[in-house]
Structure 1
Amino acid sequence: MIDLISSTHNPKIKNVLKLQEKSSERRNQNLIVFEGNRELGLAISAGFKIRTLFVCPEIWGDEKIEGVAQRDIFYISKDVFDKIAYREGSDGLVIVAEPKYLSLDTLVLNKTPFLIILEAVEKPGNLGAILRTADAAQVDAVIVCDPKTDIYNPNAIRSSVGCAFTTQIVASTSEEVLHWLKTKNIKSYAAALTAKEFYHETDLASACAIVMGTEATGLSEKWLNEADQQIKIPMRGQIDSLNVSTSTAILAFEAMRQRGFHND
């Protein structure tokens, strides 16, 4: 017979809810929250330290969980799990782990790196979707400039289906990133509707980064003026913009096509 946490007033459960809801709590406690066995496996493989695992036996069953010490596992009732779960069809696991914050100088790059740079990304869902693209295209890193959402927001991890753990992610300022790109001889291509060059007519096979703005306002004047070049996607319909995650995928896979789907 296992001991179940059956009250949502349990201090551990109350803390999980605080971590989910407040980025300030995540920063202060240096902890992140996410769900799912797939995500757990990816996080462990990427070297994330698991602090606590909450298991709902009614959903998960009695299958053994690899990679987590028994002392760090707590069993919870379905009512408690339903309170702290934030996605449909969850498999009964909620994980609390330590984040990994990288810097520009710690990034590991290929000889001809390809990067995705996001300026002031606001929506966790967009960030998560772009991380899925980054994983699929095997880009070197995703750099978030002046972020308006926590890169480990639970909804960003959820929508990334675990790709938040498979891709190098850095949060920095635009000034620092622009300087770093120049020191690394990485060319920056700003995606903008006002550009004269089309993305498929641009050399994306050399060391480069695509720079994406917000859906509401696009890129700032700083990036439009200081990026090496502006590029655009041809628009043939009546609406002149695509979702930022869709646009990022188009540009990223054109870069992969030009590289023969290799990133050396």
Structure 2
Amino acid sequence: MRIINSVQNPLIKDILKLQDKSRERRKKGFFIIEGQRELSLALKGGYKIESVLIEPSVFSIEQVSQFNISSKNIIEVSKDVYQKIAYRDSTEGIIAIVKTKNFDLESLHFNHESPLVLVLEGIEKPGNIGAMLRTADAANLDAVFIADPKTDMFNPNIIRSSVGCLFTNQIVVGSSEEICSFLQEKQINIYSATLQNSNEYHKNDYTLPTALVVGTEATGLTEIWRNNATQNINIPMQGEIDSMNVSVAAAILTFEAKRQREFK
């Protein structure tokens, strides 16, 4: 088993680049996972582990055995090195270098005749994306579509805020045009959250194949989603403001659809 004691080690420098730069993640085809739960969910989701780094005073070599990872892929690092590469303030002593996946339409399959999916258009904040992936996992949605993304899905803030739900959801990344056309081809009703020409969200039937579409809080959805919707929908506001956090709105819409489906 390799041992790394220097923060100047080339592998440590590579890990820092993978954490900080989406360009580096795309170029190398790897990203970083930190934490036992997240690593477990990634393995369950079929992700391939390149290397695992442990700080043995926090996470022992015996604990690594639960992941069925070859000893040649396990690296022991000193406390100083681990603190250098740890992304979280509190840590679990284990970090992995993991192969990225393609989130393309060709890999998508629905397990239900009447799928329920969530579409996120142009969401900028990784924390919001992570929160909505948690909602999607909690509701056991059939898929999450990321339309016109502003960040790559392996951003460490998405992984952290999703508490590993990046790995538990079926995800597709593409342009709004591609995703909208796909949904129409599959005869999935599109319900776009927007104020224009909309009715109240609870007045629609979501028991049929349904896509719930949300956009940025600043600019909302683009015309393609407003103009091609089966119905535009809104969440009535009773206070002084006319919008709410997009992840909260997505959760409200999602669980209204699940309520209508009797949480099936």
1:79 aligns with 2:77: no
Deviation at 1:237, TM superposition (A): 0.9
1:34 aligns with 2:36: no
The answer for the alignment partner of 2:51 in structure 1 is 52
Asked if the contact 1:51–1:97 (Cα under 8 Å) also holds between the matched residues in 2, the reply is yes
Match of 2:177 among 132, 154, 175: 175
The answer for the alignment partner of 1:193 in structure 2 is 195
Asked if the contact 2:54–2:94 (Cα under 8 Å) also holds between the matched residues in 1, the reply is yes
Distance 2:154 2:61 in 1: 29
Runs in 1 of length 4+ with deviation above 2 angstroms? Answer: 61-64, 193-196
- Give the AA of the match of 1:224: R
Deviation at 1:3, TM superposition (A): 5.6
Distance 1:208 1:142 in 2: 12
1:62-101 correspondence to structure 2 within 5 Å: 62-65=61-64, 66-101=67-102
Deviation at 1:62, TM superposition (A): 4.4
Q: Which moved more, 1:188-197 or 1:60-69?
A: 60-69
1:105 aligns with 2:106: yes
Asked if the contact 1:36–1:93 (Cα under 8 Å) also holds between the matched residues in 2, the reply is yes
The answer for the alignment partner of 1:256 in structure 2 is 258
- Give the AA of the match of 1:77: S
TM-score, normalised relative to structure 1: 0.95
Match of 2:218 among 213, 216, 229: 216
Distance 1:187 1:172 in 2: 19
Distance 1:178 1:78 in 2: 49
Distance 1:156 1:260 in 2: 30
CA offsets per residue over residues 35-73 of structure 1, 9 Å max, x none? 011111111111100001110112213433122111111
SS at match of 1:181: helix
Distance 2:6 2:129 in 1: 33
Supply the RMSD in Å over aligned alpha carbons: 1.3
The answer for the alignment partner of 2:42 in structure 1 is 43
Identity of aligned residues (%): 49
Deviation at 1:255, TM superposition (A): 0.6
Distance 2:59 2:234 in 1: 47
The answer for the alignment partner of 2:165 in structure 1 is 163
Asked if the contact 2:42–2:167 (Cα under 8 Å) also holds between the matched residues in 1, the reply is yes
Match of 1:134 among 112, 133, 136: 136
The answer for the alignment partner of 1:145 in structure 2 is 147
Deviation at 1:5, TM superposition (A): 1.2
SS at match of 2:14: helix
Asked if the contact 1:44–1:67 (Cα under 8 Å) also holds between the matched residues in 2, the reply is no
- Give the AA of the match of 1:58: S
Distance 1:153 1:92 in 2: 20
Asked if the contact 1:186–1:209 (Cα under 8 Å) also holds between the matched residues in 2, the reply is yes
Distance 2:100 2:80 in 1: 28
Between the two proteins, the alignment pairs up a number of residues equal to: 261
Distance 1:102 1:4 in 2: 34
- Give the AA of the match of 1:40: L
Deviation at 1:243, TM superposition (A): 0.7
Asked if the contact 2:198–2:231 (Cα under 8 Å) also holds between the matched residues in 1, the reply is no
- Give the AA of the match of 1:90: T
Distance 2:151 2:88 in 1: 19
Asked if the contact 1:195–1:232 (Cα under 8 Å) also holds between the matched residues in 2, the reply is no
